[in-house]
């Protein structure tokens, strides 16, 4: 529920063009990054949390996507050995799905990077804010349903 509310606040503030102030010291930024990774790992939604956090740094669309992608690659590189040790046979059994998903990522990147260059930063930030708002609302509704059932 807390994550849903935070994502709603982040998305709403972006749509309203009233960005949430982020601490500027190295300590608080490192702590914020650590906490966002921790909460993202707990709910399996690092992408939304990472996007919300990166919006506060006033990055261009390309910088935001590049930073988010690099972070995701580092996180996945850390997870992969654990996944292979604990679920290696399931991954091998799903090799066709893994190949198709990998092709989708490559094609999406090839199409997305040029498209990203044509979207003005203000529109991109609003689109991202809207998606964060939707994700936050979905997480909040899902959490409330699990509490009431």
Contacts of residues 6-10 at CB distance under 8 Å and 24 or more positions apart, as own/partner, are 6/52, 6/136, 7/48, 7/49, 7/52, 7/132, 7/133, 7/135, 7/136, 7/139, 8/132, 8/133, 8/136, 8/137, 8/140, 9/136, 10/52, 10/55, 10/129, 10/132, 10/136
Asked if the structure places residue 66 within a domain, the reply is yes
- How confident is the model at residue 43, as a pLDDT? 66
In order of 40, 48, 143, the CA distances from 4 in angstroms are 11, 10, 8
- How confident is the model at residue 48, as a pLDDT? 73
Nearest to 15 by CA among 141, 136, 131: 131
Asked if the structure places residue 116 within a domain, the reply is no
- How confident is the model at residue 22, as a pLDDT? 66
Q: What pTM was computed for the model?
A: 0.65
Count of domains forming the chain: 1
- How confident is the model at residue 108, as a pLDDT? 87
Two tokens at 43? 């709910």
Terminus-to-terminus CA distance in the chain, angstroms? 15
- How confident is the model at residue 90, as a pLDDT? 92
Asked if the structure places residue 110 within a domain, the reply is no
CA-CA distance, 140 to 135, in Å (whole number)?
9
- How confident is the model at residue 71, as a pLDDT? 82
Across the chain, which has 149 residues, the per-10-residue mean pLDDT values are: 83 80 74 75 70 75 80 83 91 92 88 82 85 90 87
Asked if the structure places residue 25 within a domain, the reply is yes
- How confident is the model at residue 10, as a pLDDT? 81
Asked if the structure places residue 106 within a domain, the reply is no
- How confident is the model at residue 20, as a pLDDT? 65
CA-CA distance, 126 to 49, in Å (whole number)?
16
Asked if the structure places residue 68 within a domain, the reply is yes
Write out the residue range of the structural domain in which residue 21 sits. Answer: 2-85+121-148
């Amino acid at each position: 529920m807390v994550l849903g509310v935070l994502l709603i606040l982040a998305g709403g503030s972006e749509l309203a063009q009233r960005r949430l102030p982020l601490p500027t010291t190295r300590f608080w930024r490192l702590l914020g990054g650590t906490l966002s990774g921790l909460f993202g790992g707990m709910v399996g939604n690092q992408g939304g949390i990472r996007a919300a956090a990166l919006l506060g740094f006033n990055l261009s669309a390309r910088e935001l996507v590049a930073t988010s992608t690099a972070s995701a690659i580092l996180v996945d590189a850390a997870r992969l050995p654990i996944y292979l040790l604990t679920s290696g046979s399931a991954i091998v059994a799903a090799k066709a799905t893994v190949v198709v998903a990998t092709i989708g990522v490559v094609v999406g990147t090839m199409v997305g990077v040029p498209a990203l260059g044509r979207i003005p930063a203000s529109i991109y930030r609003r689109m991202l804010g809207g998606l964060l708002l939707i994700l936050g609302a979905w997480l909040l509704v899902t959490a409330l349903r699990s509490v009431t059932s």
